[in-house]
């Protein structure tokens, strides 16, 4: 049997405790060790009269059973006096049960100002004044429990009780806000809507029912909600006859009627009324943030000129994330020549007017290269395969490209055949739609070339009860709080979208005016991945000298559309090897790529000459490893087939990071962290001891000098680098 709940050392104020529910609460608290302030004005149910007899009688009952109690006869409108009684008598206040109430039932047409005001003063204002008087004491002691008393009349309405209903639902709003404000101070506030026999319910219930609905069937809920072990906060409970139930709000999926630059009419509301009121797959918002989220998403879609006409939160009956997540699509093959690389470069704005663009436009150039962002092209067809995934019911006319991540593991070949393998990484419920995270790994033969994560938003497919976030998502990053370090502006051509689509994105939205108009756009729009390519090459030029080997990864969120002919302005902030970017339409100032960044590999990370060590002996070792990779990289890649990360520390702080890639191409070494199969953390001194054979690696590991993350078995393959040659 579980331990009984006690209130030893707690001080409780119960208002309206001279009879009915209040009396039952006071007796129960007193019996379980609390010191109780029994408040009762002693008036009648309409608020008239005054007497100390009711409160005194309850105090006597508590004391007769060995409890501690004191009476208070003030009105709840004198809230400070009630709390002062607790402080003067017991030195603190821990729990407030706002229970006092009166009735002045009238049909609405007959309700006078006095009828209205008196009910509000006792129920709503009285609870406010008593709670406010206790609030700072509870904050200072980092503990408080508060009960507000609502009613079924307040939740549902009841004939002849307009004044009472308004006050009772007002108490729920007050309670919900106090729950939010008090949370960090360990002050919990909950609301009960009891149905019990009392002076108030005698006027609206048959006598036999009043007798059956005993107050003792309500008190256990109130005591639990007031106990220090109860985590509940901001709840609403109906209780009576031994039954307890929790209530919550429910909202229909609704329908978005507004389109940008078009009037919203009452006729449209009339014509979609059944959908607006359809509670199928309804949502259950539990906070104002959740309530507003749908509206924010609707506004975003409308401002993006999407012209939504469907439910923003219309869940599809065919959506079952548990079936979809982890599903793989058939392997895709993509063959291309130098012509495709050149066509892509032209599609993202490169021109022979710029001499440094020639290496991307002329196959005969001595340093002819493929732009890194071409890596999205062989992978993009994976999105069309989503329709075949079980558990996903997708209307492709409502598919929006939300975010994109691309990571390069080696420079792209300028021709060849690439294969891509796509997996549904996760499915998220954003309320107004469904987000699908699609991971695509692209290989040249067996070598991983690049990794894409497509984040696609299916408008109107949310509300299926799924999770809202995922640890598998590559996240965006906030901009530094300073002016940009560099800005590049490029004007797109009138035919930019027509040119970019030749790289494989054939969506008519980007070429056909009538199709664009159906989507709410004034003319065909530029591909989001085209703006993506513009921004990436701006960073590559500004911070990497157009050296494609330095490009590591890019992440963007697509915010607003661009029309061909507009100018793209890329703003850049450099922080170490990360370049934060924001891309705007210069003419309007609209942000089109947000939360974006590009990570670069450090410049000239491997040198034939001994590097500047800055006092680290290990730098000389890594320089030698780099030489060995250059001399015998092919053989090492075949033998090892792994990527090793190293974190070198000095004086307890990581001061160097290295990546040894013996998995792709002819192998490489670069300074800085990259995605590794296994990562070693070791001090500079211990690293040298291991390399020179003075410290056994296993002993170093078990002694905590060498820490390993990832596939520890791959550490055995390091011998190929560290021991198959003459001593370092």
Report the alpha-carbon distance of residue 43 to residue 25 in Å, rounded.
19
Residues 585 and 621 in one domain: no
Q: pLDDT digits over 662-708, tens only?
A: 887 777 887 777 778 888 899 988 888 888 878 887 788 778 888 88
In this structure, what are the phi and psi dihedrals at residue 394, rounded to the nearest 5 degrees? -110, 130
The answer to the question of residue 336 being in a domain is yes
Residues 571 and 659 in one domain: no
Residues 656 and 590 in one domain: no
Q: Which pLDDT does position 260 carry in this prediction? A: 72
- Better-predicted residue by pLDDT, 458 or 124: 124
Residues 515 and 657 in one domain: no
The answer to the question of residue 516 being in a domain is yes
Q: pLDDT digits over 74-119, tens only?
A: 999 999 999 999 999 999 999 999 999 998 999 999 999 999 999 9
Residues 119 and 52 in one domain: yes
Report the alpha-carbon distance of residue 32 to residue 65 in Å, rounded.
11
Give me the number of domains the chain comprises.
3
Residues 438 and 545 in one domain: yes
The answer to the question of residue 611 being in a domain is no
Determine whether 405 is an active site residue: no
CATH number, domain of 475, equals 3.10.129.10
Q: Which pLDDT does position 308 carry in this prediction? A: 38
Report the candidate in 360, 380, 364 with the shortest Cα–Cα distance to residue 372.
360
Residues 132 and 103 in one domain: yes
Report the alpha-carbon distance of residue 189 to residue 161 in Å, rounded.
25
* Residue reference for tokens 């709503």: 124
Q: pLDDT digits over 299-350, tens only?
A: 655 554 443 333 444 444 457 877 888 888 888 999 999 999 999 999 999 9
Express as a percent the part of the chain with pLDDT over 90: 57
Q: Which pLDDT does position 698 carry in this prediction? A: 77
Express as a percent the part of the chain with pLDDT over 70: 89
The answer to the question of residue 1 being in a domain is no
Q: Is the pLDDT of residue 297 over 70?
A: no
CA quadruple 222, 226, 227, 233: dihedral, nearest 10: 110
Judge contact between 564 and 492, C-beta under 8 A. Answer: yes
Please, which pLDDT band fits residue 45 given cuts at 50, 70 and 90? low
Mean residue pLDDT across the chain: 87
Q: Which pLDDT does position 314 carry in this prediction? A: 43
Return the structure tokens found at 503: 């790289």
Q: Which pLDDT does position 241 carry in this prediction? A: 85
Please, which pLDDT band fits residue 195 given cuts at 50, 70 and 90? confident
Domain interval for residue 373: 322-600
Report the candidate in 501, 532, 515, 396 with the shortest Cα–Cα distance to residue 459.
396
If DSSP states are collapsed to H, E and C, what string results for 75-93? CHHHHHHHHHHHHHHHCCC
- CB neighbour class for 577 (10 Å; exposed up to 12, middle 13-18, buried from 19): middle
Judged by DSSP in three states, 615 sits in: coil
Judge contact between 340 and 414, C-beta under 8 A. Answer: no
Domain edge (last residue) among 600, 630, 662: 600
Residues 518 and 630 in one domain: no
Q: Is the pLDDT of residue 138 over 80?
A: yes
* Residue reference for tokens 């890194």: 372
CATH number, domain of 683, equals 3.30.1050.10
Residues 633 and 591 in one domain: no
Report the alpha-carbon distance of residue 505 to residue 496 in Å, rounded.
13
Q: Which pLDDT does position 727 carry in this prediction? A: 42
Return the structure tokens found at 56: 């005194």
Q: pLDDT digits over 521-570, tens only?
A: 889 999 999 999 999 999 999 999 999 999 999 999 999 999 999 999 99
Q: Which pLDDT does position 92 carry in this prediction? A: 97
Residues 69 and 209 in one domain: yes
Please, which pLDDT band fits residue 293 given cuts at 50, 70 and 90? low
Q: Which pLDDT does position 306 carry in this prediction? A: 41
Given 25, 73, 164, 563, which residue is catalytic? 164
Please, which pLDDT band fits residue 726 given cuts at 50, 70 and 90? very low
Q: Is the pLDDT of residue 204 over 60?
A: no
Domain edge (last residue) among 219, 247, 275: 247
Q: Per-residue b/e over 628-665, b at no fewer than 16 CB within 10 Å?
A: bbeebbeebbeebebbbbbbbbeeeeeebbbbbbbbbb
The answer to the question of residue 261 being in a domain is no
Report the alpha-carbon distance of residue 260 to residue 255 in Å, rounded.
15
Q: pLDDT digits over 491-521, tens only?
A: 999 999 999 999 998 888 899 998 888 767 8
Please, which pLDDT band fits residue 610 given cuts at 50, 70 and 90? very low
CATH number, domain of 85, equals 3.40.50.720
Report the alpha-carbon distance of residue 74 to residue 89 in Å, rounded.
15
If DSSP states are collapsed to H, E and C, what string results for 450-493? EEEEEEEEEECCCCCCCCCCCCCCCCCCCCCCCCCCEEEEEECC
- How many H helices and E strands in the chain? 22, 23
Beta strands in 559-613 (DSSP E): 567-575, 578-585, 591-600
- Better-predicted residue by pLDDT, 522 or 32: 32
Q: Is the pLDDT of residue 294 over 50?
A: yes
Report the candidate in 280, 200, 183 with the shortest Cα–Cα distance to residue 234.
183
Q: Is the pLDDT of residue 485 over 80?
A: yes
Please, which pLDDT band fits residue 453 given cuts at 50, 70 and 90? very high
Residues 460 and 373 in one domain: yes
Q: Which pLDDT does position 641 carry in this prediction? A: 85
Report the alpha-carbon distance of residue 500 to residue 342 in Å, rounded.
11
Residues 427 and 538 in one domain: yes
The answer to the question of residue 265 being in a domain is no
- Better-predicted residue by pLDDT, 287 or 683: 683
- Better-predicted residue by pLDDT, 128 or 306: 128
* Residue reference for tokens 């379980």: 32
Q: Which pLDDT does position 256 carry in this prediction? A: 83
Domain edge (last residue) among 204, 219, 247: 247
Q: Which pLDDT does position 212 carry in this prediction? A: 63
The answer to the question of residue 259 being in a domain is no
Return the structure tokens found at 410: 């080696």
Rounded average pLDDT over 385-393 = 80
- CB neighbour class for 267 (10 Å; exposed up to 12, middle 13-18, buried from 19): exposed
Q: Which pLDDT does position 326 carry in this prediction? A: 87
The answer to the question of residue 639 being in a domain is yes
Q: Which helix (H) or strand (E) holds 220?
A: helix 219-226
């Amino acid at each position: 049997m579980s331990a009984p709940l006690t209130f030893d050392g707690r001080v409780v104020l119960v208002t309206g405790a001279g009879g009915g529910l209040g009396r039952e609460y006071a007796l129960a608290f007193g019996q379980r060790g609390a010191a109780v302030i029994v408040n009762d004005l002693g008036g009648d149910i309409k608020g008239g009269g005054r007497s100390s007899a009711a409160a005194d009688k309850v105090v006597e009952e508590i004391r007769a059973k060995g409890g501690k109690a004191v009476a208070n006869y003030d009105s709840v409108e004198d809230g400070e006096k009630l709390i002062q009684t607790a402080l003067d008598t017991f030195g603190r206040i821990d729990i407030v049960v706002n229970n006092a109430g009166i009735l002045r039932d009238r049909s609405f047409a007959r309700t006078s100002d006095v009828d209205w005001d008196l009910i509000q003063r006792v129920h709503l204002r009285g609870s406010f004044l008593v709670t406010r008087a206790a609030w700072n004491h509870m904050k200072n002691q980092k503990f408080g429990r508060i009960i507000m008393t609502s009613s079924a009349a307040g939740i549902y309405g009841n004939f002849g009780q307009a004044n009472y209903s308004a006050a009772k639902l007002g108490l729920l709003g007050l309670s919900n806000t106090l729950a939010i404000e008090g949370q960090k101070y360990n002050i919990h506030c909950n609301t009960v809507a009891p149905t019990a026999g009392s002076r108030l319910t005698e006027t609206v219930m048959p006598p036999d029912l009043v007798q059956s609905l005993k107050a003792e069937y309500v008190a256990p809920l109130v005591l639990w909600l007031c106990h220090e072990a109860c985590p509940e906060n901001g709840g609403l409970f109906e209780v009576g006859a031994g039954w307890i139930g929790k209530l919550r709000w429910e909202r229909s999926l609704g329908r978005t009627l507004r389109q940008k630059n078009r009037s919203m009419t009452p006729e449209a509301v009339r014509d979609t009324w059944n959908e607006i009121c359809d509670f199928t797959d309804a949502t259950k918002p539990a906070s104002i943030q959740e309530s507003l989220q749908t509206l924010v998403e609707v506004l975003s879609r409308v401002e993006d000129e999407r012209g939504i006409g469907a439910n923003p939160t219309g869940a599809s009956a065919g959506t079952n994330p548990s079936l979809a997540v982890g599903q793989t699509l058939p392997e895709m093959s993509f063959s291309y020549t130098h012509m495709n690389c050149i066509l892509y470069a032209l599609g993202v704005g490169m021109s022979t007017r710029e001499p440094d663009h020639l290496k991307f436009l002329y196959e005969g150039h001595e340093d002819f290269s493929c732009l890194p962002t071409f890596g999205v092209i062989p992978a993009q067809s994976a999105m069309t395969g989503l329709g075949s995934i079980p558990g996903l019911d997708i209307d492709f006319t409502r598919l929006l490209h939300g975010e994109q991540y691309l990571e390069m593991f080696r420079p792209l070949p300028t021709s060849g055949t690439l294969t891509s393998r796509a997996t549904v990484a996760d499915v998220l419920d954003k309320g107004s739609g469904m987000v699908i995270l699609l991971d695509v790994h692209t290989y040249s033969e067996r070598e991983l070339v690049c990794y894409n994560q497509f984040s696609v938003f299916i408008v109107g497919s949310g509300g299926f009860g799924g999770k809202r976030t995922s640890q598998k998502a590559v996240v965006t990053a906030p901009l530094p709080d300073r002016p940009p370090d560099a800005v590049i502006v490029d004007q797109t051509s009138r035919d930019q979208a027509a040119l970019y689509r030749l790289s494989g994105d054939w969506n008519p939205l980007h070429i056909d005016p009538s199709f664009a108009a159906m989507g709410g756009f004034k003319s065909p729009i530029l591909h989001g991945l085209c703006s993506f390519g513009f921004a990436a090459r701006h960073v590559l030029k500004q911070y990497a000298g157009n050296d494609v080997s330095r490009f590591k990864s890019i992440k963007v969120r697509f915010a607003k559309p661009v029309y061909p002919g507009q100018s793209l302005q890329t703003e850049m902030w450099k922080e170490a090897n990360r370049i934060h970017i924001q891309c705007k339409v210069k003419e309007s100032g609209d942000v089109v790529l947000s939360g974006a960044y590009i990570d670069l590999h450090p410049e000239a990370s491997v040198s034939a000459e001994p590097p500047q060590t800055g006092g680290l002996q290990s730098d000389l070792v890594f320089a030698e490893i780099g030489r060995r990779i250059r001399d015998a990289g092919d053989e090492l890649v075949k033998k090892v087939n792994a990527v090793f990360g190293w974190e070198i520390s000095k004086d307890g702080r990581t001061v160097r990071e290295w990546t040894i890639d013996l998995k792709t191409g002819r192998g490489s070494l670069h300074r800085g962290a990259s995605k590794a199969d296994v990562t070693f953390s070791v001090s500079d001194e211990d690293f040298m001891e291991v390399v020179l054979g003075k410290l056994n690696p296993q002993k170093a590991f078990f002694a905590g000098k060498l820490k390993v993350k990832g596939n520890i078995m791959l550490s055995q393959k390091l011998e190929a680098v560290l021991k198959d040659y003459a001593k370092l």
